[in-house]
């Protein structure tokens, strides 16, 4: 999902750590206790979570770009206000998540630098372009819908600060999905051209959205420890299936066709989808998606152009602190 | 010029009068004014509060979780501090 670049196996350095502490830690996890920042935790747990939460944060921040693209071109004031609020929410989500990641001991500055240097990843989905207004509807409906599917179980993640951030995020995300579906509904009830635009957006986003859930369970390398530590509660394929089952009827209501002609319903009512093109997924993760370079360039530009603001704010705070010290000394 | 990391603040919000301020999260800001403004933008976008406190994270002294036994266990054995420890006949009624 937003942290799908966790594809390398964690080195197991628990041999170096106190085995008793590790056993006690696992017992707390098994008893559904939450782990808090100052509690003892295995180094690999800290490392996994720092990567996962910071990747999630980077995804929220980069996720502002494809939607920000349409703020000035929203078709009405109502849509514009909603899109502005949504993009502002994504920024807020990024900030809650950076704060949660920092409780593990890495500063936000370091986390952001790692992303800008290309060392940390963000979700593959944000490397696709938003070509028409229908893409904004589709992102809300499907991308945020998939995100909710992934984030609801994270509200029960074993790490307290992450779980609490997710609760706030999920509450706000619901508006995002509904506003997206409303955009789609309006287009589907509009002119033939508008409906065609909605269908075109669905055609382009469907497969990349399914890829958001990450590689199939058979090839996912990091799931075992994450499951044991109760960071992850459902497998990639389980969440993907839940999402597909929830989404098919929504598409039917819109009168749109999911671009997967082979789709059938099994005896239990689950929708079976065709093979996903994992080569495309790997290419996008490796930096070769349609917008990877654009997104990174936009983030770096924004960071560089904001440098003077950070410097000025720091200088002003330092000056004021100095003045206060001087006054106190008089 | 290398800018030092922006200080961290803890944010507390009173959701409505009559309730205590509650910790909601943290943020980075250079000074108190910016911390308050950022807290408003990050934590009260949907009318979550009527009052905000921001406290420099460095000003908080926390107990050590490793010492939680020493800190809190003494209270656990003192069940006579709870009303249910005492027997009051039913006839006496609610007390």
According to the model, what pLDDT value does residue B3 have? Answer: 58
For residue A208, pLDDT beyond 90: yes
Q: What are phi and psi of B84, to 5 degrees?
A: -70, -10
Residue B1's closest chain A neighbor by CA?
A311
Residue B43's closest chain A neighbor by CA?
A92
According to the model, what pLDDT value does residue A7 have? Answer: 40
Nearest CA to CA, how far is B68 from chain A (Å)?
A: 10
Judging contacts by C-beta atoms under 8 Å, the chain B residues touching residue A176 are: none
Is A102 in Cβ contact with B25 (below 8 Å)? no
Is A88 in Cβ contact with B45 (below 8 Å)? yes
Most confident of A16-25, A221-230, B26-35: B26-35
Per-chain mean pLDDT for chain B: 91
Nearest CA to CA, how far is A225 from chain B (Å)?
A: 24
- Count CA atoms closer than 13 A to B64's CA, side-chain side: 4
For residue B13, pLDDT beyond 90: yes
Residue B38's closest chain A neighbor by CA?
A92
Each residue's pLDDT tens digit, A80-105: 999 999 999 999 999 999 999 999 99
The span from the CA of A314 to the CA of B2, in Å, is 11
Report residue B6 CA to chain centroid gap.
23
Residue B32's closest chain A neighbor by CA?
A317
Report residue A49 CA to chain centroid gap.
14
Q: Is the pTM of this model over 0.80?
A: yes
Judging contacts by C-beta atoms under 8 Å, the chain B residues touching residue A99 are: 25-27
Residue B40's closest chain A neighbor by CA?
A92
The span from the CA of B55 to the CA of A205, in Å, is 44
According to the model, what pLDDT value does residue A63 have? Answer: 96
Is A92 in Cβ contact with B42 (below 8 Å)? yes
Q: What is the mean pLDDT of residues A104-119?
A: 95
Chain A residues interacting with chain B (CB cutoff of 8 angstroms)? 36, 38-40, 85, 88-89, 92, 95-96, 99, 102, 107-109, 164-165, 168, 172, 307, 310-311, 313-314, 316-317, 320
Is A96 in Cβ contact with B25 (below 8 Å)? yes
Judging contacts by C-beta atoms under 8 Å, the chain A residues touching residue B69 are: none
Question: Hey, of A113, A170, A314, which one would you mutate to test binding to chain B, going by the most B CBs within 10 A of its CB?
Answer: A314
Each residue's pLDDT tens digit, A155-199: 999 999 999 999 999 999 989 999 999 999 999 999 999 999 999
According to the model, what pLDDT value does residue A252 have? Answer: 96
User: ipTM of the assembly?
Assistant: 0.84
According to the model, what pLDDT value does residue A12 have? Answer: 52
Each residue's pLDDT tens digit, A258-288: 999 989 999 999 999 999 999 999 999 999 9
Judging contacts by C-beta atoms under 8 Å, the chain A residues touching residue B26 are: 99, 102
According to the model, what pLDDT value does residue A29 have? Answer: 95
Residue B3: which of A165, A168, A310 has the nearest Cβ?
Answer: A310
Per-chain mean pLDDT for chain A: 92
The span from the CA of A310 to the CA of A177, in Å, is 34
Q: A140-168 in b/e burial notation, b at 16+ Cβ within 10 A?
A: bbbbbbbbbbbbbbbbebbbbbbbbbbeb
Is A316 in Cβ contact with B31 (below 8 Å)? yes
Judging contacts by C-beta atoms under 8 Å, the chain B residues touching residue A85 are: 45
Is B26 in Cβ contact with A316 (below 8 Å)? no
Judging contacts by C-beta atoms under 8 Å, the chain A residues touching residue B42 are: 92, 95-96
Is B30 in Cβ contact with A313 (below 8 Å)? yes
For residue A302, pLDDT beyond 60: yes
Stated as kind and residue range, the H or E segment containing B27 is strand B22-28
According to the model, what pLDDT value does residue A117 have? Answer: 96
Q: What residues pair up with A107 in beta bridges, in sequence order?
A: none
The span from the CA of B32 to the CA of A80, in Å, is 32
Is B46 in Cβ contact with A88 (below 8 Å)? no
Answer for the pair A220, A234: CB distance below 8 angstroms, yes or no: no
- Cβ-Cβ contacts under 8 Å between A and B: the total is 55
């Amino acid at each position: 999902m937003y942290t799908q670049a966790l594809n390398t196996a964690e080195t197991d350095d628990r041999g170096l750590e106190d085995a008793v502490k590790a056993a006690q830690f696992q017992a707390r996890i098994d008893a559904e206790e939450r782990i808090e920042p100052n509690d003892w935790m295995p180094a690999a747990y800290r490392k996994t979570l720092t990567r996962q939460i910071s990747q999630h944060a980077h995804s929220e921040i980069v996720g502002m770009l494809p939607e920000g693209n349409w703020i000035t071109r929203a078709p009405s004031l109502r849509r514009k206000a909603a899109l502005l609020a949504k993009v502002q929410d994504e920024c807020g989500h990024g900030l809650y998540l950076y704060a949660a990641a920092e409780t593990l001991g890495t500063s936000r500055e370091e986390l952001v630098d790692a992303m800008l240097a290309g060392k940390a990843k963000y979700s593959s989905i944000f490397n696709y372009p938003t070509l028409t207004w229908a893409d904004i509807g589709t992102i809300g409906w499907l991308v945020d819908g998939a995100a909710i599917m992934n984030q609801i179980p994270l509200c029960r993640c074993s790490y307290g600060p992450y779980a609490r951030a997710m609760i706030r995020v999920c509450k706000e995300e619901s508006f995002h999905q509904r506003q997206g579906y409303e955009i789609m509904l309006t287009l589907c009830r509009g002119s033939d051209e508008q409906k065609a635009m909605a269908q075109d957006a669905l055609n382009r986003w469907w497969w990349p959205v399914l890829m958001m859930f990450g590689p199939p369970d058979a090839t996912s390398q990091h799931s075992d420890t994450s499951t044991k530590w109760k960071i992850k509660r459902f497998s990639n394929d389980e969440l993907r299936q839940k999402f597909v089952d929830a989404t098919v009827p929504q598409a039917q209501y819109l009168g749109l066709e999911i671009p997967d002609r082979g789709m059938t319903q099994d005896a239990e009512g689950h929708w079976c989808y065709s093979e996903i093109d994992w080569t495309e997924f790997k290419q996008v993760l490796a930096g070769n998606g349609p917008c990877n370079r654009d997104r990174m360039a936009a983030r770096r530009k924004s960071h560089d152009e904001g440098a003077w603001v950070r410097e000025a704010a720091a200088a002003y705070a330092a000056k004021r602190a100095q003045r206060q010290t001087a006054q106190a000394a008089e | 010029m290398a800018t030092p990391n922006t200080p961290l603040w803890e944010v507390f919000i009173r959701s409505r009068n009559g309730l205590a301020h509650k910790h909601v999260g943290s943020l980075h800001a250079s000074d108190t004014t910016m911390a308050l403004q950022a807290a408003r933008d990050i934590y009260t976008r949907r009318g979550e509060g009527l009052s905000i406190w921001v406290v420099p994270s460095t000003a908080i002294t926390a107990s050590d979780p490793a010492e939680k036994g020493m800190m809190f266990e003494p209270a656990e054995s003192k069940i006579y501090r709870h009303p249910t420890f005492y027997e009051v006949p039913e006839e006496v009624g609610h007390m």
